[in-house]
């Protein structure tokens, strides 16, 4: 088992049992300052990871793209779908997708 995995397991135990870093240090044999550093580092990594792309698939409906009334269907993660007019402005589409993502 690598060091990262070992520390992650100990920190998970700390969370489950509501241990202090000192108590966890005594159980694990890992210095308390090392545990606090790893906890900080792992939290920071989770915060700065880029979000996975929200788009899964882009499907054009049967209407030709230049025909009035044509639609674009966007299938998001979780099988959520957004159908918009094919002539939608890019900024408006970004606002629509941001609103759907908050739901």
Span 46-101, pLDDT tens digits: 776 656 555 656 566 665 555 556 888 887 766 778 888 888 888 888 888 877 77
- Has residue 43 got a pLDDT over 70? yes
Strand partners for 38: none
Domain residues for 12? 3-48
| Nearest Cα to Cα of residue 59 among 51, 69, 48, 71 | 71
- Out of 48, 63, 79, a domain closes at 48
Number of domains in the chain: 2
The answer on 41 and 8 residing in a single domain is yes
Question: What does the block give as tokens for 98?
Answer: 């941001």
Contact 81, 75 (CB under 8 A): yes
The answer on 59 and 44 residing in a single domain is no
Cα gap 78→92, rounded to integer Å: 22
The answer on 43 and 77 residing in a single domain is no
């Amino acid at each position: 088992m690598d060091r990262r995995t070992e520390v992650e397991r100990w920190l998970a135990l700390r969370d489950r049992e509501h241990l202090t870093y000192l108590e966890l240090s005594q159980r694990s044999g890992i210095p308390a300052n090392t545990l606090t550093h790893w906890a900080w580092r792992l939290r920071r990594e989770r915060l700065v990871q880029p979000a996975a792309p929200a788009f899964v698939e882009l499907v054009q409906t049967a209407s030709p793209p230049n025909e009035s009334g044509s639609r674009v269907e966007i299938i998001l993660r979780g099988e959520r779908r957004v159908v918009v007019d094919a002539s939608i402005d890019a900024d408006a589409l970004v606002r629509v997708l941001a609103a759907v993502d908050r739901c």
